[in-house]
Amino acid sequence: MIYLDNSATTRPHKEVMETYMTVSERFFGNASSLHRLGMESEKVLNRARSLMAELLEVEVSSILFTSGGTESNNLAIKGSLMSSFQKGHHVITTACEHASIYQTYKSLEAQGYQVTYLPVDEHGLVSITDLEQAITKETSLVSISHVNNETGSIQPIEKMGELLHDYPKIRFHVDHVQGAGKVPLSIKKSHIDLLTISAHKFHGLKGTAVLYVRPGLHLSPLFHGGEQESGFRGGTENVAWAAAMAKAYKMELAKSRSGVDELKKLRQQLIERIVKSEKLVLNSNSKYGAPHIINLSIPGYKPEVVVQKLAEKEIYVSTQSACSSKSNEPSRVLLAMGKNEELAGSAIRISLSYESSEKEIETFFSTLNDLLPSIRKVVKS
């Protein structure tokens, strides 16, 4: 099997699964209970929180565990706006955001909020000037992804943070889900108020994420019925999942120290093969971008058919984001980058991990070249 869909999800590490099983079996008590079993579970949860804080270089009190990136993004956005309702009804995001941000803002528009969707250039990047010009007296929140989940474009988050630091009434939320463990980002240097990461993007378990909340910042909770997670997120704490996430992130950062350079080499190999091909069109930035995400189009071919045919050979890639991959619509992200509908409607995404190899890349391309003639016949029929 050749797995090249790591931006959709990653295979959990064996050590992560072992941590989950051990904590589940030994520390099954409710972490909010006052008896010994509860206090033992609470200690494990606190250790996981402390480790995540250490790895992210932030305060322990700023770490909230949630059920996933979607919940974290919704809590950051809606929780901010509900807690600062009088501060302004204008918010800023980009035209290329993940569905968990883009659709959240669309729902807020229906509630009367004014949303500015910043345009992006042909590389999927936002202009700092455009961001500055979009700010009004009513702006209360800016929400932008660090690494685009479809193309791997890296936004200039640190420069954005420097700009927004001069506007203390505006909260700065960053979706770091695709960048965590692959593209370094300093929360403090970037003056980030809220930041999302999700465990299953770095070989943790699905259903666990972290929302960083700058100390002193208040959010209105989306869930009511408990005082867990500093009162921001009611519900029984998932101790085993949190411990497994901390384990996974520690392992990912350790692998990144030596693995990022290898990922960059694989990315360059991918790009060179795409550029040389007469049938493929590169959509990702050839020089700059996340080392693990490459987006390409195959004009004249249906991407869902390409994905299925490759899967029959046990080679796994994707079309758009996994959250949007069942849609037959052209990629909203690529259209925003100025790609035509043919390119936006024939794109596939290759996403690597530190376990990917040069041999896998070679096998992917040779198999794709062998399959394309038969896929074309399917398209014509």
- Please list the residues that pair with 91 across neighbouring strands: 115, 141
Angle between helices 36-56 and 239-276 (to 10 degrees): 30
- Please list the residues that pair with 147 across neighbouring strands: 154
Is there a catalytic annotation at residue 323? yes
Q: From the CB of residue 287, how many other CB atoms can be counted at a distance below 10 Å? A: 8
| Residue of 217, 322, 323, 372 with catalytic role | 323
Q: Where are the beta strands (DSSP E) in the chain?
A: 2-3, 63-66, 90-94, 114-118, 139-145, 171-175, 194-198, 209-213, 281-282, 293-297, 315-316, 347-351
What span, in angstroms and rounded, lies between the C-alpha atoms of 9 and 282? Answer: 23
- Please list the residues that pair with 2 across neighbouring strands: 315
DSSP state of 150: T
Look at strands 114-118 and 90-94 and give their pairing: parallel
Tokens found for residue 206? 């699905």
Tokens found for residue 205? 């378990």
* Active site members: 323
